[in-house]
Amino acid sequence: MISYKTARPLLTMFSPETAHRLAIIGLKLGLAGSNRTPDDPILATTVLGLSFPNPVGVAAGFDKGAEVPDAMLALGFGFSEAGTVTPKPQPGNPKPRLFRLEEDEGVINRLGFNSGGLAPYLARVKARKAKGAKGIFGANVGKNRETEDGAADYAIGIAAVTNYADYLVCNISSPNTPGLRSLQGRAQLQDLLTRVLAARAKAVTPGQKIPPLFAKVGPDLDLLAIEDIAQVALQTKVDGLIIGNTTIDRPAGLKSPEAPEAGGLSGKPLTEKARWCIGEMYKAVGGLIPIVGCGGIMNGTDAYRAIRAGASLVQLYSALVFYGPELVVSIKRDLAEHLRKDGFKHVADAVGADHRK
């Protein structure tokens, strides 16, 4: 196993996108090794009928093409999500389009759903299922840039992956595809989720368990938008929500010279905003819909605070840029310590605890 502390100085010699590609290749070759230490029982949780050994997962965006979900699970993550995949291949936005904010522990991307399309993605996830791979895997789908009827692309994607993933995600929160976030509007979201849920029901193999469907919405929401999304989620009976993605805001005090770059900001500068959004959405849905907290999870304390705000599960990606895959071990250890210190017997008991004071 090559430690990230050793590998990172080499990776930072390359552009962020090249470094990311090298990381994927390293994972495919097994250079990151694995962690066979059993998870602390306090971290085990069941969400929507899925049994997670721990609540810490890999967010979409890290493994766009479903190349290394099992390598990430072997490192100790409780679940791994791959995508966003679009129905047709598309190159995304012009390079450079990915930037490290070293001084701020943040990342800016304007990738624009660069995707190899459904064909190679499906080939990998089908092969994974055929060999009986273990661990919870999520498939995240999006729309092609030129598609006018966005809901149609989501229905195509969800129908294609329904039988090969443990859960499904519609990503309508990226700021880098023109018009995508408009799908978070009440009428548009109602139409999209209605059509996607119908596509899932039609595609599932008879006798197979229907995988839960999550809608992934961004953190740049005000209270009115949160209320609208909550009402649509409750009305359509979508299974869960992922909150959030990247922000187009630039908080005061950013120090990195790359901070003015256009695109979505993630990492440490997003932590507080994402947690606020999780808490407000949890209250808006009355705790009736599971939430996955995604945005600014940099350590075990961030994970714990997101869970107390209302997240049943958490995901990370940008933190891996700065701390590497070994980070998951320390997050799980610190999360377990926080839970015991505050008297919780299971991680599920802490979900939404901030709203029960």
Task: Give counts: helices (H), strands (E), the chain.
Answer: 11, 13
Contact 6, 85 (CB under 8 A): no
Active-site position among 115, 173, 174, 266: 174
How far apart CA 120 and CA 316 sit, in angstroms, is: 25
> In this structure, what is the dihedral angle of CA atoms 118, 121, 122, 124, given to the nearest 10 degrees?
170
Phi, psi of 22 (to 5 degrees): -65, -35
318 is catalytic: no
> What's the length of the chain?
357
Tokens found for residue 160: 């294609």
| Residue carrying structure tokens 């990381």 | 23
Q: Which residues contact 79 (CB under 8 A, 6 or more apart)?
A: 50, 52, 57, 58, 73, 135, 136, 137, 138, 166, 313
Strand order in 264-267's β-sheet?
A: 98-101, 106-109, 264-267
List residues with catalytic annotation.
174
